[in-house]
Amino acid sequence: MSTLSDLVYSQGRSSEADVEWLHRLAGDGQLLADLAFADIVLWVPTADDSFVAVAHTRPGGAATLFYRDIVGDLVRPQWRTQVREAFQTARIVDSASPDWFEETPTRVRAVPVVRGHGESAQTIAVLTRHTNLGETRTPSRQQITFNDCADDLFGMVASGDFPDLSAPTSPRRGAPRASDGLIRLDVDGITTFASPNALSAFNRLGFDDELEGESLVTVVTGILPSKRQFDESLPVVVTGRAPWRADMDARGVTVSLRTIPLRDRGTRIGAILLCRDVTEIRHQEQELITKDATIREIHHRVKNNLQTVASLLRIQARRTHSDEARDALTQAMRRVSAIAVVHDTLSEGLAQNVDFDEVFARVLKLVAEVAAAPNTRARTHSTGRFGTLPSEYATPLALALTELVTNAVEHGLAGQEGDVEIIAERADEHLEVRVRDTGSGLPEGQVGRGLGTQIVRTLIQGELGGTIDWHTIMGSGTEVTIEIPLRYIDRPKS
């Protein structure tokens, strides 16, 4: 399905500022649908004097009219005249009589979406409200208040006052919705209506009286503990003077608040305050933060322990008198150090993914310094890009490449000068790495049988499910090719 941006830009009549405005409005589509108890559809003009639907939101507390998604469809003939009139006149246009949609009586309201004020104001789209009249019943006081709030917001959409670009975007998980709790404030901050869910939320905070007729600032002041810090934006939110969000904590309960100031032709007439008990959600978020910090500390301690082990191996290697034992201890030290590099990188961030290009740059430097013999001059360099890999891929791959580069320096370039090149090529489904040296090469068809070769085979074939191939380059040198499938890595959703 095409995104809102794709659909709007494909018509060639909207700017980036228009698209941002429409994204903000579509982001509050659920609020408008829930308050109006109706389907909300956003239309933008096309080049052939019609309109195409770019967003659609169904109500949470009423039956939808559109059981199939209409995003991307052209406006139906029975609505086109009404939508065009709202777009051209920049006025709200109501249907003169009930409209029938698939044998269901409906009422349609077309609202011009205006961006800017005064001479800079321009109509960029039309919002339609489709009310299902087939379920008409005597409205409750809450439904009447919700509809009044919806009408106020529709008026603000038509005057360029909603959405408000100064309001914060991308709210934290648990943002309040109309069904979670709604409070209507007048221009002085006095509560004129509180839904049952809103009253329950404040009761859990410690307020046992009725909210209606009370100053919300006074109520909140009485609830909050006197010696505890509170959200600095809370006073602005509970007075209804600015479109902002805040959390309120008392008695172990956390309530999330969002204020939408209401205006009539630029003059503030009150506010809508949405509230939701997010105590459990905030506890879960805190637990995740604590777990993330614990995981980072574990990686940090593992890195320190591995570095300590590597240091002990290095000391032992220096004290031994056997060349064979010294080589074995040095190789073990190098392997432990390579694993420590991965844990060091993981300890610096919350994600359990690592930038393997950064990890390998550190590993390559470590290997080149340790593996080179006094009469060997090896120049190591890498090309291409590994990209980001999960920790379960990064550790075995770092260790395998450590072994391959070490073998290339110690055996391929033993007693001579040459180059070791590491080439990484990453595609969507696999990662290919080639380790190439300019040394003496291997006899064709023969592969080393030492511990390093066994380790590489185990890591690449066993742990990563990949393939590995050794062959001699024409002329001189050896090239080792590794191919690792990446189909099991979770990719970010576009």
Per-position pLDDT tens, the chain of length 494: 568 888 888 887 778 889 999 999 999 999 999 999 999 999 999 988 899 999 999 998 888 888 888 999 999 998 999 999 999 999 999 987 777 777 788 899 999 999 988 888 999 999 999 998 877 677 889 999 999 999 999 999 999 999 988 887 655 567 889 999 999 999 999 999 999 999 999 999 989 889 999 999 999 988 887 766 676 788 888 999 889 988 888 888 889 999 999 999 889 999 999 999 988 887 887 777 777 777 777 777 777 777 788 788 878 888 888 878 877 887 787 778 777 777 777 776 656 678 888 888 887 777 765 555 566 677 788 888 888 888 788 888 888 888 888 877 777 776 677 888 889 999 888 899 988 888 776 655 456 666 777 888 888 888 888 898 888 776 677 888 989 988 656 554 43
* Residue 15 CB-half CA count within 13 A: 5
Q: Is the peptide bond before 77 cis (omega within 30 degrees of 0)?
A: no
Residue 395: closest CA among 310, 458, 443, 327: 458
Identical fold for domains 4-159 and 178-277, yes or no, is yes
Report how far residue 249's alpha carbon sits from residue 494's, in angstroms, rounded to the nearest whole number: 36
Please choose, from the candidates 96, 182, 118, the residue with its C-alpha nearest in 3D space to the C-alpha of residue 145.
Answer: 182
Residue 416 to residue 420: CA distance in whole angstroms: 12
Beta strands in 200-343 (DSSP E): 245-250, 253-264, 267-277
Number of neighbours of residue 431 by Cβ within 10 angstroms: 24
Report the CATH fold assignment for 4-159. Beta-Lactamase (3.30.450)
DSSP state letter for 37: T
Question: What confidence score (pLDDT) does residue 58 get?
Answer: 93
Q: What is the DSSP letter of 458?
A: I
One-character DSSP codes across 370-437 = HH--TT-EEEEEEEE---EEEHHHHHHHHHHHHHHHHHIIIIITTTSEEEEEEEEEE-SSEEEEEEEE
pLDDT at position 444, please?
56
Q: What is the pLDDT of residue 173?
A: 65
For the chain, give every domain's residue range. Answer: 4-159, 178-277, 281-350, 374-494
| Cα atoms found within 13 Å of the Cα of residue 334, Cβ hemisphere only | 27
| DSSP class of 70 | -
- Strands 353-355, 388-390: pairing is antiparallel
From CA 480, how far away is CA 464, in angstroms rounded? 16
Tokens 């072994």, residue? Answer: 403
> What is the C-alpha separation between 263 and 159, in angstroms, rounded?
9
How far apart (Å, rounded) are the C-alpha atoms in residues 291 and 58? 37
Q: Which residues make Cβ contacts (< 8 Å) with residue 216, sequence separation at least 6?
A: 183, 185, 189, 190, 191, 238, 239, 240, 273
Task: Work out the number of other CB atoms within 10 angstroms of the CB of residue 58.
Answer: 18
CATH of domain 178-277: 3.30.450.20
175, HSE (Cβ side, Cα atoms, 13 Å): 13
Q: Which two structure tokens, joined as six digits, stand for 304? A: 């320190």
Tell the CATH superfamily of the 374-494 domain: Histidine kinase-like ATPase, C-terminal domain (3.30.565.10)
> Is-contact 191 169, C-beta < 8 A?
no
DSSP 265: T
**Phi (first) and psi of residue 94, to 5 degrees:** -100, 150
pLDDT of residue 475: 60
